[in-house]
């Protein structure tokens, strides 16, 4: 197995590009094929230009496929050092108990660690919010992630109505302040928390925020984080854009100052288009961030 450099010596990742498979695909063979193709495409990209090794590339997979995908990811890493990161799409905030159908932070930690993966979890995706999760629930999950040692990606974003009535910034601020209530800046930084800005109107619709709209929202998010957690933590936080990102629009979005990556739904279901987005990280930025 290739031994990764220690965190003291390793250059820090410059961008976070993650696929969110959502409730896809529909069979184990398809999930295994997608995982293999994604790792293969990532390996080829890094072989072509090793600088892409500084981009954190991962996938949030459905729980039921975790053992199958995890085995592929682990064996590829052991074989040639290609590291596809792994996460899950939601979790419960309790550690165990009578919560039929739910998955606890401790279970996630144990299962992801078994595949050598940093336990990573998406929290507050707008599709979960549409199913009833609110800011208070998101906050409980964020606090649980830190308590049990998970790396959280917290999703925020405004609806079409909120944007059209000019309340985008206030909605984002409320989601950040409530979702991160009582979060300690050191815990936030230590677990390399990512904020995913995903305008609800752009998710799965083919509509994408313009690069100016996205960058303005990200700058606002960074400002609120600076106020809540301090300028240093805010400046180091990776803020992803999500919402119909694809290889065609990724170069212009990823070239913006405050956009540090992408959370990719539809386009992550094809390894070629997903890794095409990784390839769109401006090479000049790898190393500058």
Q: Does 13 bind ligand PGA (CB under 6 A)?
A: no
Taking the complex as a whole, how short is the minimal distance between the CB of residue 18 and ligand PGA, in angstroms? 8
SS3 18: strand
The helix or strand, by DSSP H or E, that contains position 179, with its residue range, turns out to be helix 168-179
Of 13, 70, 199, 242, which lies in the binding site for ligand PGA, with binding defined by CB under 6 A? 242
Q: For residue 11, count CB atoms less than 10 angstroms from its CB and return exposed for 0-12, middle for 13-18, buried for 19 or more.
A: exposed
Looking at beta carbons only, is 20 or 193 nearer to ligand PGA? 20
Q: Does 287 bind ligand PGA (CB under 6 A)?
A: no
Q: Does 203 bind ligand PGA (CB under 6 A)?
A: yes
Looking at beta carbons only, is 179 or 242 nearer to ligand PGA? 242
Beta carbons within 8 Å of 113's beta carbon, 6+ residues apart? 119
Angle at 70 between CA 49 and CA 203, to 5 degrees: 70
For ligand PGA, which stretch binds (CB under 6 A), given 157-165, 172-180, 187-195, 262-270? Answer: 262-270
Beta carbons within 8 Å of 13's beta carbon, 6+ residues apart? 54, 55, 56, 238
* CB-CB contact of 218 with 235 (8 Å): no
Q: Does 266 bind ligand PGA (CB under 6 A)?
A: yes
For ligand PGA, which stretch binds (CB under 6 A), given 23-31, 248-256, 258-266, 279-287? Answer: 258-266
Q: Return left, alpha or beta for 181; rule: phi > 0 is left, psi -120 to 50 is alpha, else beta.
A: beta
Beta bridge pairs of residue 262: 17, 241
Q: Does 16 bind ligand PGA (CB under 6 A)?
A: no
Q: Does 70 bind ligand PGA (CB under 6 A)?
A: no
Q: Is the dihedral of CA 219, 222, 224, 227 positive or negative?
A: negative
Nearest to ligand PGA by Cβ — which residue?
265
Of 66, 121, 176, 245, which lies in the binding site for ligand PGA, with binding defined by CB under 6 A? 245
For ligand PGA, which stretch binds (CB under 6 A), given 74-82, 175-183, 259-267, 281-289? Answer: 259-267
Q: Nearest CA to 82 among 55, 61, 106, 63?
A: 55
Q: Does 121 bind ligand PGA (CB under 6 A)?
A: no
Looking at beta carbons only, is 119 or 242 nearer to ligand PGA? 242
Residues of this chain that interact with ligand PGA (CB under 6 A) are 20, 198, 203-204, 242-245, 263-267
């Amino acid at each position: 197995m290739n031994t990764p450099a220690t965190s003291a010596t390793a250059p820090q990742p410059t961008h976070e590009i993650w696929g969110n498979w959502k409730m896809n695909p529909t069979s184990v063979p398809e999930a295994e094929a997608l995982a293999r193709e994604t790792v293969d495409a990532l390996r080829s990209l890094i072989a072509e230009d090793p600088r892409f090794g500084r981009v954190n590339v991962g996938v949030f997979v459905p729980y039921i496929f975790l053992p199958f995908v995890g085995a592929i990811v682990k064996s590829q890493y052991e074989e040639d050092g290609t590291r596809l990161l792994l996460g899950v799409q939601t979790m419960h905030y309790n550690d165990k108990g009578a919560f039929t159908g739910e998955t606890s932070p401790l279970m996630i930690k144990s299962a992801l660690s078994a595949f050598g993966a940093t336990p990573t979890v998406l929290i507050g995706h707008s599709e979960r919010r549409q199913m009833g999760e609110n800011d208070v629930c998101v906050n409980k999950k964020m606090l649980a992630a830190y308590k049990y040692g998970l790396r959280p990606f917290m999703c925020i974003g405004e609806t079409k109505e909120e944007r059209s009535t000019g309340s985008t910034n206030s909605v984002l601020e409320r989601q950040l302040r409530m979702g991160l209530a009582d979060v300690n800046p050191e815990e936030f930084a230590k677990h390399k928390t990512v904020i995913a800005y995903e305008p609800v109107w752009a998710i799965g619709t083919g509509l994408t925020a313009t690069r100016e709209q996205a960058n303005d929202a990200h700058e606002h998010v960074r400002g609120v984080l600076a106020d809540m957690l301090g300028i240093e933590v805010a400046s180091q936080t990776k803020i992803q854009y999500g919402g119909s990102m694809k290889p065609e629009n990724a170069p212009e979005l990823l070239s913006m100052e405050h956009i540090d990556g992408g959370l990719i739904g539809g386009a992550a279901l094809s390894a070629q288009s997903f890794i095409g987005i990784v390839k769109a990280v401006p090479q000049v930025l790898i190393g500058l961030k």
